[in-house]
Chain A
Amino acid sequence: MKKTATITVGLALAAVLALGSVGIADEHEEAVKKDLFAVITLEGHPCGVVTSFTRQGEADYIVVCQTGDRYHVRLVPEGRVSVQKL
């Protein structure tokens, strides 16, 4: 009886942790989208909303916007941000 209760609590905690990590990952993705959207518009390009992005490497993303525009956003060696329309 005690063993069953321990397993039950363990499973419940695992479920909580799993669901929590999904939420954190989702939050991180939204933060990246917001950052990419902000930099694209700061550089004067149209976007609407960032619909998806692909991480190419460290500080290097391919971004797809609601407008249909695709951009290559990356850090260039001079310490500047490059936003290139594809």
Chain B
Amino acid sequence: MDDEKKAISVPVANGPVGLTIMIGEGQLGASTVFRGNQPLVRGGVVIADLNLGDGAKLRGTNIVVESIVNDISTHTNRMSVTYVVSNNGRRLTPVVVPHVVTTEGQLCRFQTSITFTV
């Protein structure tokens, strides 16, 4: 199984912080968001606007998003997972983590750590 690891630092201000996770390229998949060992949410191809709490409390902490993406596409072996953090309703720059599987029908494990900073 392929593996894609990424660490992201996101500066957040006081106020509500949200997270959207999208599996792209038309591929199937599922994601779980963990805080420590505790799963915050389990979702499918899209987890939209997950409320992570207030930025003031999040700074200095991190969450881990674990996704398994399945190559169901007959057009491409490309895969991607896009992470969009929002703060006070404002969407920050999306981070796209790409991958290409070399074997048809393969799956890839995406592990992305998002650390909230000042």
Q: Do A and B come from one complex?
A: no
Residues of chain A whose beta carbon lies under 8 Å from any beta carbon of chain B: none
